[in-house]
Amino acid sequence: MRTPPFPDIESLYDRAFREPVYRRAVSVVAPFLDEIEPPPRPPLRPGRGPERSLMCELLGAMDSVEDRLTVQLDLLDENHGLIPMHRRERVEAMLRRCAAAFPGAVLRIFSERAVDLPSAVVGVLTDVPDGESVELLCALLEDPRACVRSEAARALGVIGDARAVGPLVGALCDPWSVVEWMAAEALGSLRASEAIEPLSEVLYSHHMAERATQALARIGGPRALDALQRGAEADDPLVSTFAVDAMRSVGSDAVLGGAR
């Protein structure tokens, strides 16, 4: 069996000073090492040496779930760029497992980090059971970063909790189109009848016509079809085309013969 490349903390720091790529990594996790006595590390599996980064070694030295989550978030922070994409995906997978197994810890750490939570991990909150992350995701719809707001809207659509309808309706007027698109899609996924009127208003905006009509088609019902019918009769050919397509997607025979 192979032995770990870093048998103790002193060796980690020694290598960090000799190799810049490790130096920056250690700077992220150093605050967590002062009071933590690293447990004995198990041998690495054959052939995995190059893939076992310093990050994995340091995470293994932490007993606290909260500490591990905090470090993983630091690794994924867009402002750090510490690890390549394939390792980012692995860290995200670890976070998803944590969300399912330790939902309380995940919500606590994510809430504390809400002001700088990396957008890449917002989707992890969909793995928190029983819809416990809905309140935090609704709060993230007010985040100053559009990438976080859009990911929060998408996640709320995946979870499908009715408590998200009001905040998602508000997101239909977001300054960034991508947030409005995700909010409309989420409302369609939620089959939210309360969103019919707001969606009926925004479908006449060119950048929202496709998503709003699709959402209305998914919500269904007489009121949604009436809104789509009005869109099909609109003078704007773009709005009319999307409305007709949406009605056809649900098999509606209410499309006017003269609709564009």
Note whether residue 258 is domain-resident: yes
Q: Looking at residue 204, which CATH number applies to its domain?
A: 1.25.10
Summarised one tens digit per residue, pLDDT across range 187-214 is 999 999 999 999 999 999 999 999 999 9
Write down the pTM of the prediction: 0.70
pLDDT one-digit tens code per residue, 60-91: 444 566 666 666 666 555 444 445 566 667 77
How would you label 100-118 residue by residue, b for 16+ Cβ within 10 Å and e otherwise? eebbebbbebbeebeeebb
Could you tell me if residue 215 is inside a domain? yes
209 part of a folded domain:
yes
The boundaries of the domain holding residue 231 are: 191-260
Q: Is residue 51 part of a domain?
A: no
Instruction: Output the 3-class SS for 4-38.
Output: CCCCCHHHHHHHHHHCHHHHHHHHHHHHHHCCCCC
Provide the number of structural domains found in the chain: 1
